[in-house]
């Protein structure tokens, strides 16, 4: 299955009509090579030790930050958050224990090192300009629910009290597990119209039947496309660029979100990038106000 942004559909349709009339089949070899690479990645991962390690780890597929209820009360506060401009008034508490527990709704738990309040604060407060700011007046250790590769989980979180808000800003107090070493090497240097690396995972739909990823392209093409190969143990995504053109082009790289529909929910299958041969990393949207 190939998914691409809507704006590229008509252009691709015209290309198909043109090639049909001329007897030329465009991109046939690239399609076969891309499918062969996806199959190679799936075969390497399915039933592997790496897949076993992945299935036992904590890998978030949702943001590590949850906003206060009814955020934000003003455009200035929203701007402060998106620019990560915070001010700390007072002291942050010490970490009460060494480890924290990840508890999955489906069962099972995992102990991981607990992140200190100061490190958690610094992960959201990276601003430092003279514009609007949010004031943190205190923090305490609590919990929050986050989406993971193994389904929803309850995890420790630092609850930061914000001046002017009745509920806290929550930040997960754990770092993801270390990813296992991939059983297959990266694809190597290939033309982007054949295969390209993904920028990251944006989200998995609530029903698990689609995933949104970041794919990149340049200034002389019709945009990115993403193919999918589903197996019992993995979902392999193959990104490429369609409609490449000759001529002078700028060197800028453009990122675009692409939603890929699946035949069945992702479930506990590993979401893989065909180019890198590794799990697609979650791309947390820094400073996103939702």
The pLDDT tens digits for 176-187 are: 999 999 999 999
Nearest by Cα to 119 from 81, 149, 160: 160
Quote the pLDDT of residue 30: 81
Instruction: Tell me: do 92 and 152 sit in the same domain.
Output: yes
The answer to whether residues 272 and 216 belong to one domain is yes
Burial class (CB in 10 A: 0-12, 13-18, 19+), 18: exposed
Give the chain's residues under pLDDT 70: 1-28, 218-219, 221-222, 244-252, 285-290
Give which of 126, 115, 138, 145 is closest to 82, Cα–Cα: 126
For residue 26, what pLDDT is reported? Answer: 40
pLDDT tens, residue by residue, 11-38: 233 233 223 333 333 445 788 999 999 9
Q: What is the pLDDT of residue 290?
A: 44
Residue 289 lies in a domain: no
- The per-residue b/e assignment along 141-179, b for 16 or more CB within 10 angstroms, e otherwise, is bebbebbbbbbebebbbbbbbbeebeebbbbbbbebbee
Total number of domains constituting the chain:
2
Range of the domain at 140: 60-172
Given 172, 203, 231, the domain boundary residue is 172
Q: Are 142 and 221 within one domain?
A: no
Q: How many CA atoms lie within 13 A of 80 on its CB side?
A: 20
Cβ proximity of 50 and 181 under 8 Å? yes
Q: Are residues 233 and 256 in the same domain?
A: yes
User: 202 with 158, same domain?
Assistant: no
pLDDT, residue 246, reads: 65
């Amino acid at each position: 299955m190939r998914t691409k942004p809507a704006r590229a559909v008509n252009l691709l349709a015209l290309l198909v009509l043109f090639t049909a009339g001329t007897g030329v089949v465009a991109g046939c070899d690239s399609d076969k090579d891309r499918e062969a690479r996806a199959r190679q990645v799936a075969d390497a991962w399915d039933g592997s030790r790496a897949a076993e390690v992945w299935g036992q780890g904590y890998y978030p597929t949702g943001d590590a930050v949850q906003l206060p209820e009814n955020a934000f009360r003003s455009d200035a506060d929203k701007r402060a958050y998106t620019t990560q401009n915070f001010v700390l008034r007072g002291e942050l508490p010490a970490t009460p224990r060494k480890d924290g527990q990840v508890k999955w709704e489906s069962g099972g738990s995992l102990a991981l090192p607990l992140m200190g309040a100061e490190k958690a604060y610094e992960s959201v407060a990276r601003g430092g300009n003279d514009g609007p700011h949010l004031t943190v007046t205190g923090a305490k250790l609590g919990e929050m629910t986050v989406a993971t590769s193994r389904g929803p989980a309850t995890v420790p979180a630092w609850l930061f009290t914000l001046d002017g808000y009745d509920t806290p800003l929550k930040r997960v107090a754990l770092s993801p597990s270390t990813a296992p070493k991939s059983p297959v090497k990266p694809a190597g240097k290939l033309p982007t119209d054949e295969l390209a690396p993904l920028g990251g995972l944006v989200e998995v739909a609530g029903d698990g039947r689609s995933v949104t990823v970041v794919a990149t392209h340049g200034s002389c093409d019709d945009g990115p496309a993403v193919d999918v190969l589903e197996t019992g143990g993995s979902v392999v995504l193959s990104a490429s660029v369609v409609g490449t053109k000759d001529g002078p082009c700028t060197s800028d790289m453009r990122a675009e979100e692409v939603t890929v529909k699946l035949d069945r929910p992702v479930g506990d299958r590993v979401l893989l990038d065909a180019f890198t041969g590794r799990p697609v990393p979650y791309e947390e949207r820094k400073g996103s106000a939702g």
